[in-house]
Amino acid sequence: MEMKYCTIDTESGSRRASSTLLSAAFLITNDHFEVLDQLDLKLKLEKDGLYIVDAQGMAVNGIDIVAHDKVAMTYKEAKPVLYEFLKKNSNGERLTPVGHGVKGDIHRIIENLISQGSWEQFCTYHYIDTSVVLQFLRACGKMPQDCDGSVGALVQYFGIELGDRSLHDAMVDAQLTMQVYQKMVEIEKQ
């Protein structure tokens, strides 16, 4: 049976847990890393339009909050969209979540967009975290100890073309994380 991955990335208003979840990206691929589907959610809070952000967080993610607010959907509007997306793509088999620091992304998604029960209906709890895989490859002597563990540094290390894409966009980071994971799998298969 073929494994299906759901690579995830989120962007928030700051590093603080209380900050606003601004975007969530989901990239579905098969175990040959062929893209099957994707969902890129731009998000905002329900009522008052207040965002919990800080200057440092916004400088990192580069989100223009005024432009973002014009296209973003509320968490309530996004819930059924995400539910149907995961339902369609799991098709009775659980998706394997993949991400860089993915446990935090899964927590933010469950906290804001989908119940834990629904998440677990469509996604296995056996997630793959590329930051943990990096540590494993370092321990096996297959990657250097001095390689920075950020997505950007791993993209550079593996020679993945960034093109005109910018880091800290949820969908771009999900795409790049899947490419990093693919390179990591190739290292282990050699």
- pLDDT truncated to tens, each residue of the chain (190 aa)? 688 999 999 999 888 888 899 999 999 999 999 999 999 999 998 877 788 888 888 888 888 999 999 999 999 999 999 999 999 999 889 999 999 999 999 999 999 999 999 999 999 999 999 999 999 999 999 999 998 899 999 999 999 998 888 888 999 999 999 999 999 999 988 8
Output the pLDDT for position 59.
Answer: 86
3-state secondary structure of 102: helix
Q: Identify the residue whose tokens are 């790049």.
A: 176
Classify burial at 76, counting beta carbons within 10 Å of its beta carbon; exposed 0-12, middle 13-18, buried 19 or more: exposed
Output the pLDDT for position 137.
Answer: 95
User: Which tokens in the block code for residue 54?
Assistant: 């800080």
The angle at the Cα of 175, spanning 172 to 180, to the nearest 5 degrees, equals: 120
* Dihedral (CA of 71, 75, 76, 79) sign: positive
Output the pLDDT for position 46.
Answer: 83
The amino acid present at 104, given as its one-letter code, is G
Decide if 183 contacts 159 (C-beta within 8 A): no
Distances (CA, A) of 167 to 156, 164, 174, 177: 12, 10, 10, 11
Output the pLDDT for position 1.
Answer: 66
Instruction: Name the pairing type of β-strands 96-99 and 73-74.
Output: unpaired
Dist CA 137 CA 115 (whole Å): 34
Domains along the sequence of the chain with CATH: 4-189 (3.30.420.10)
Distances (CA, A) of 84 to 79, 81, 132: 9, 5, 30
